[in-house]
Amino acid sequence: MITLYQALAELEQQNRAGALCTVVRSQGSTPRHTNSKMLVYPDGHILGTIGGGELERRVIEEAKQAIEDGYPRFLSYNMVDPQRGDPGVCGGQVEVYVEPINPKPMIIVLGAGHVGKAVAALAHWLGFRVAIWDDRADLCNPQNIPDADHYLVCPIQELPDRLEITNQSYIVLTTRGTDLDIAGLPVLIEKPAAYIGVIGSRRRWATTRKNLLEKGVRKELLERVISPIGLELNAETPEEIAVSILAEIIMLRNGGHGGRMLWSESQKNKSLE
């Protein structure tokens, strides 16, 4: 059986998610004492223990939520009276820190043309993992796009079967036409991606959306799609468009607003009042 630290190393090597739960404070009689650790996987199975029973069940549920939303938790429990909602009767107090271990975010680029190639290069430089898809093998390869971690050449509908799409996935459709968008989006928008963006004009998206609605795709799912993609930079070249797209993804990922940080003189003066 592997140790907890070996399991943590495996998570990093395989770019998988988990949550490390550590007893950071134990006072009085508790199931386990300070520095006891448990690794929780997304499906709820565990390695190690912080004491079992109702306490452990509650921490596992919190850990699964931490994996989902990416935020750590500091949990505090009394172990006195289950009638009051306590998870035990040992008589002590225990505090547990839950640290989510999220996989490195991935940009999934659909379309290995000029813009897709530029998006892949910039995403790689920014530290994202990169997957590139195209149904043209002469474009979707390391010789044409050297900055990807995964190359997928298949019908677009099969992409979710070839690559795991998680809440750390950012899907960018830079395809060569609406036909591919219409073919791929019904399966992609069912996945828990953090971002699904489609390149093109408002008219192109309106045409795609109308077609998908007629095919029975639910309106609320289509609301997940961002199109046109990117921040308004008046971008023209593939590289400039890539900056616009990645800037929007970073903005949404970090909770920014996309406005200029330059203050006007009136704002500066008001801040000094």
- Do 51 and 24 fall within a single domain? yes
Q: What integer pLDDT is reported at residue 20 of this predicted model?
A: 97
Residues 6+ apart with CB under 8 A from 223: none
Whether 4 maps to a domain, the answer reads: no
Whether 269 maps to a domain, the answer reads: no
Q: What integer pLDDT is reported at residue 158 of this predicted model?
A: 93
- Segment 79-135, tens digit of pLDDT: 655 556 545 556 678 889 999 998 889 999 999 999 999 999 999 999 999 999 999
Q: What integer pLDDT is reported at residue 102 of this predicted model?
A: 86
CA 91 to the chain's CA centroid: 40
- Segment 199-248, tens digit of pLDDT: 999 999 999 999 999 999 999 999 999 999 999 999 999 999 999 999 99
- Do 126 and 54 fall within a single domain? no
Whether 6 maps to a domain, the answer reads: no
Reading the block at residue 206, the tokens are 């309106």
- Segment 9-67, tens digit of pLDDT: 999 888 889 999 999 988 777 667 888 999 999 999 999 998 878 888 889 999 999 99
Whether 260 maps to a domain, the answer reads: no
Q: What integer pLDDT is reported at residue 80 of this predicted model?
A: 56
* Cα separation, 167 vs 70, whole angstroms: 10
- Segment 151-177, tens digit of pLDDT: 999 999 999 999 989 888 999 999 998
Residues 6+ apart with CB under 8 A from 163: 108, 131, 133, 150, 152
Question: Which residues are paired to 216 by β-bridges?
Answer: none
76 band by pLDDT with thresholds 50, 70 and 90: confident
- Do 64 and 120 fall within a single domain? no
- Do 83 and 118 fall within a single domain? no
- Do 85 and 145 fall within a single domain? no
* Cα separation, 190 vs 160, whole angstroms: 10
Average pLDDT over residues 126-149: 95
- Tokens 């998206």 identify what position? 205
- Tokens 């399991």 identify what position? 7
Structural domain boundaries, residue 50: 13-101
Considering 101, 117, 139, which residue would you say is the last residue of a domain?
Answer: 101
Q: What integer pLDDT is reported at residue 264 of this predicted model?
A: 61
Q: Is 69 exposed, middle or buried (0-12, 13-18, 19+ CB in 10 A)?
A: exposed
* Cα separation, 185 vs 182, whole angstroms: 6
Reading the block at residue 208, the tokens are 């795609």
Question: Which residues are paired to 47 by β-bridges?
Answer: 39
- Do 120 and 244 fall within a single domain? yes
Contact 148, 134 (CB under 8 A): no
Considering 75, 101, 127, which residue would you say is the last residue of a domain?
Answer: 101
- Do 247 and 112 fall within a single domain? yes
* Cα separation, 71 vs 16, whole angstroms: 16
Q: How many domains does the chain have?
A: 2
CATH number, domain of 203, equals 3.40.50.720
Q: What integer pLDDT is reported at residue 78 of this predicted model?
A: 78
Contact 64, 42 (CB under 8 A): yes
CA 236 to the chain's CA centroid: 29
Kindly report the pTM of this predicted structure: 0.78
- Do 172 and 219 fall within a single domain? yes
